[in-house]
Structure 1
């Protein structure tokens, strides 16, 4: 929870100092996108209401369940928890983006589909749902057309009713809550709490990623546009919007999007990496070098991006950068043995045989541990970081 507290303190400080003469920095407006490049498919974009809507049969099933004598006496958030726990026993993790009703019918979907289903059931019973991003062991799901798709993990907090204090912040209300975490056996590390707008933005990001993988840039544009309406400072949406403009040949708008993203968001790894790629492809070596230095100097605990750009640097023969990126990754995720093998490759290619041998030794030691031992080792590390 360390990552959450500074944000909360800053928000409280801002509220208390609203009478100060100091002017707050004015954030830039979202750059104008080149709509003429795309055949918009707004009609095909699902609304958030359609994504969370349950069928009449599903709603009736929920009502019957909570009407049971032993369930009706429970707090509402416990009712949601019990319903989902009993109805998702055989849920199949398929890695697919489904709506809430489809996820329930199919008894399958990815982690975001599960979170969406939880959100839908919670809304049906009038329960407040708050989401938290979880950092997990990096898992590449698919790589195609220079796009890397990774797994996402979100857990859900279900808050108990508190009608006496309806306007009080959920973080400070003292309300009891239940946590729904569908994959508790993973190497999970708590990330930031996200609000409903950010959660919806993540849903549209997932759908846009599917469109990108299908090379449907027009549909991706429509989905990204919808997502940005909910959170125009969400780094993945900004980065993907820049990517589809670059693919359509509009480098100028892509450049504006990257610069905007770097100004408004704290999550800069993928933005810097993709911006560096854009500048390098355009032959802007001086500016690309400056962006590369920012990336090399950046400190960020997000696990996925460091690993992915470390892999990319290995493939392009930039072994010095690969060593730096993979070292940053392992600083926060030291239980992922494959990364030590990759680090050893980067070190060996630079003539650092002793360091490469040490990395190989660490990789072997971790790989030989059982999954339970690696999990305990990871948990111990995170406890030490609290």
Structure 2
């Protein structure tokens, strides 16, 4: 009975630490009184928990504010230099590794091309080399890193053992990854804690925490790159479905029996408006042009008034808008956020037409309550989102995983 009581006390203390640390992280700096009002923890709990967190170096004092003629109130914040996080974006043509401090300020990064068809062994070697590079460049010891978050294209089957990231398996049908044990391959090259998830889902978490989705409980964050994916957020949580594959928006159908898609089916949205498909369909690009250079050339041609380029982008906006309407009708989100490097490249030109198409194709009532907007976090948001995977574990644990 004593053991059970002691465990209950530890659980309550951990929950209090997590509540306070999370609130300081997203809303700080704050005084102890403000923390008490916001978290509804007792004054005694606030004093005890902040004392523990200060002693652990997880939070720090950062100035003061006047207090109605009384003694100034000391402000507290999460200590940005107390620990570090690494985010990895495994794209279809490059791997980006970025080191952040605890406040998600970028300290160092490495971009390495992964070729057109990413080989699992090569990707693992690039990630390992990138990890070594960013730690060395910033002069940061590996022991200060809370974890490595990795965003990948494809479906991620999460492990359920003691080291779930090391058990992660990736199913990437569009680029030939059939049950690749990415976590196990990475574990052989680094002892750092691993967190692996679909890139669109990491983008979604970043947007919901720091970007255009902030403040929403229900949203869809779309990643438009060489391919297309989405993160569905329902009641504040990322929706995964029974197989962790929810959000494969790029493989919904816009033309039954239409263009062949890389997934092996036909008529998928990705086969029409993914960057790779747009570049392939436009005859104004030179053979061998990469997706980013090709899409930029397509936009320049449209800006110059070339009819073929204008028509292709008009069709892309129409199809994207109709597919956004499907999201509106299915999920009734507060916001649909369009991100990804291609989404942000196309967005300034296509967003008004996408919004208009969504309005024409969606049911009027849910559409009137859905904002369709562009990402606010830039083309590297997948990397930032990947870093939020270990950050989320850190906050949930009340900082107990910090070194």
TM-score bracket for the superposition, by shorter chain length? under 0.3
Q: Which has the higher contact order (CA 8 A, sep 6+)?
A: 2
**Bigger helix fraction:** 1
**Bigger strand fraction:** 2
- TM-score normalized with structure 1 length: 0.25
- TM-score normalized with structure 2 length: 0.24
